[in-house]
């Protein structure tokens, strides 16, 4: 990705704020959901209500740690392959993060704009639906998502750490982490995965067959590329390729963000009791639902 300076500046600024923030002061609650004060403000949420989406905006919706930076990279490569123009990041790509004036500035940006978001379905600005922007929804199994989230907090020196994995797990299960509960996020989306202009993609499927996943993403957003172009993007989007460039693309946090990129890392941290607790929660929230089946929980979350 070219000119990521604004992107890196924003991350560095958030990390600088994080340095002075204790875990006990990290969150503020907006409409019942905890957000990190280092990245979100109530003024920005207020301004977001009036955000005007365009029909050709590319919306990427995911709970944290489900692979949004991976998809962002793929989309910007698709744009480059089709237009021969590097996608510039004039703003930090997470829609709800930044200063309240960002939505005014975004009015000037050329299409297509990439809008990544961790907001729950019912918190998305209404204009996304009204103007029929296409939304790609990325999910990852909840056990690996939790482990990735924990490592991000505890490995990045400037981000407030949890006392232990057990403490993080308790908070994750209660939804007392940034952007709230994984399960609430999932329950909300479950009812909308077959809506017009919505496409579901699973991290684990992408990991299994990256080329096929990129092809599906390209088709959904209407990019018409050759097989060779898709292959090239696929080679540039492997975990190894992205991690190797992560400092260049994401600054100091890069190697922590592109940490391991594996399926099943949860086996290194989950205790038997934690496994049972999450299996039970999954059953309560998603068993028998369309999303429950799409997540392939039996394959990815059972030993
Ligand atoms: N190319 C590729 N292949 C496989 N996995 C990848 C790739 N790029 C990012 N990742 C993994 O995605 C995890 C980070 O998710 P996000 O980008 O959504 O993080 S964030 O919420 O925006 O902070 C994080 O997962 P963990 O490694 O398990 O921590 C990243 O390594």
CA of 117 to the centre of ligand 1 (A): 15
Ligand 1 pocket test target in 89, 203, 261 with most atoms within 8 Å of CB: 261
Local confidence band at 90 (pLDDT 50, 70, 90 cut-offs): confident
Question: In the predicted model, is pLDDT for residue 97 greater than 70?
Answer: yes
| Mean pLDDT, residues 153-165 taken together | 95
Give nearest CA residue, ligand 1 atom 5: 261
Q: Please report where in the chains the tokens 């704009």 appear, as a residue.
A: 113
Retrieve residue 283's tokens.
Answer: 């059953």
Around ligand 1, the residues with Cβ closer than 6 Å are 62, 64-70, 144, 148, 151, 207, 237-239, 242, 257-261, 265
SS3 209: coil
> What is the spatial distance between Cα 24 and Cα 80, in angstroms, rounded to a whole number?
42
Local confidence band at 1 (pLDDT 50, 70, 90 cut-offs): very low
CA of 130 to the centre of ligand 1 (A): 31
| Mean pLDDT, residues 49-54 taken together | 97
Computed over every residue of the chain, the mean pLDDT equals 95
8 Å CB contact between 25 and 111: no
| Mean pLDDT, residues 70-99 taken together | 94
Q: Of all atoms in ligand 1, which is nearest to the CA of residue 260?
A: 27
Local confidence band at 5 (pLDDT 50, 70, 90 cut-offs): low
Question: In the predicted model, is pLDDT for residue 89 greater than 80?
Answer: yes
Q: Residues 121-144: pLDDT tens digits?
A: 999 999 999 999 999 999 999 999
Question: In the predicted model, is pLDDT for residue 3 greater than 60?
Answer: no
| Mean pLDDT, residues 180-184 taken together | 98
CA of 50 to the centre of ligand 1 (A): 30
Retrieve residue 63's tokens.
Answer: 């709970």
Q: At how many degrees (to 10) do helices 165-174 and 272-286 cross?
A: 10
Q: Of all atoms in ligand 1, which is nearest to the CA of residue 242?
A: 1
CA of 140 to the centre of ligand 1 (A): 10
Nearest to 38 by CA among 6, 54, 15, 65: 15
Q: Residues 224-253: pLDDT tens digits?
A: 999 999 999 999 999 999 999 999 999 999
**Apex CA 53: angle with CA 81 and CA 233, to 5°?**
20
| Mean pLDDT, residues 206-225 taken together | 98
ipTM of this complex prediction, to 2 decimal places: 0.99
Local confidence band at 28 (pLDDT 50, 70, 90 cut-offs): very high
- Known catalytic residues are 118
Ligand 1 pocket test target in 258, 260, 266 with most atoms within 8 Å of CB: 258
CA of 149 to the centre of ligand 1 (A): 10
Residue 247, pLDDT score: 94
Question: In the predicted model, is pLDDT for residue 17 greater than 50?
Answer: yes
Question: In the predicted model, is pLDDT for residue 15 greater than 60?
Answer: yes
Local confidence band at 2 (pLDDT 50, 70, 90 cut-offs): very low
Query: Which contacts of 83-92 are long-range, i.e. CB under 8 A and separated by 24 or more positions?
Result: 86/1, 86/2, 86/3, 87/1, 87/2, 87/114, 88/2, 88/3, 89/1, 89/3, 89/4, 89/6, 89/7, 90/6, 91/6, 91/10, 92/6, 92/7, 92/10, 92/11
The residue length of the chain stands at 303
Domains and CATH numbers, the chain: 5-301 (3.40.50.300)
pTM of the model: 0.97
8 Å CB contact between 71 and 60: yes
């Amino acid at each position: 990705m070219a000119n990521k300076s604004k992107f890196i500046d924003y991350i560095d600024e958030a990390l600088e704020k994080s340095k002075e923030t204790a875990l006990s002061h990290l969150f503020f609650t907006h409409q019942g959901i905890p957000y990190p004060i280092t990245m979100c403000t109530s003024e920005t949420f207020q301004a977001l209500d009036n955000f005007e989406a365009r029909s050709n905006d590319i919306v990427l919706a995911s709970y944290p740690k489900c692979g949004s930076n991976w998809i962002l990279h793929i989309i910007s490569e698709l744009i480059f392959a089709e237009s021969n123009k590097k996608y510039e990041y004039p703003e930090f790509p997470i829609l709800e993060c930044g200063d309240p004036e960002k939505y005014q500035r975004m009015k000037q940006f050329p299409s297509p704009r990439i809008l990544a978001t961790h907001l729950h379905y019912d918190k998305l600005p209404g204009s996304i639906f009204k103007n029929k922007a296409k939304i790609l929804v990325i999910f990852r199994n909840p056990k690996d998502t939790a482990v990735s989230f924990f490592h991000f907090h505890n490995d990045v020196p400037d981000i407030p750490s949890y006392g232990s994995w057990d403490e993080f797990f308790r908070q994750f299960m209660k939804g007392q982490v940034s952007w709230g509960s994984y399960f609430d996020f999932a329950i909300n989306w479950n009812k909308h995965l077959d809506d017009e202009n919505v496409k579901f993609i699973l991290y684990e499927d992408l990991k299994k067959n990256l080329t096929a996943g990129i092809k599906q993403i390209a088709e959904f957003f209407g990019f018409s590329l050759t097989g060779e172009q898709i292959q090239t993007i696929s080679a540039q989007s492997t975990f190894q390729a992205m991690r190797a460039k992560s400092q260049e693309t994401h600054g100091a946090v890069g190697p922590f963000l592109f940490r391991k990129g594996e399926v099943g890392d949860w086996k290194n941290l989950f205790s038997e009791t934690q496994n049972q607790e999450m299996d039970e929660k999954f059953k309560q929230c998603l068993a028998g639902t369309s999303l429950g089946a799409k997540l392939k929980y039996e394959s990815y979350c059972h030993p």
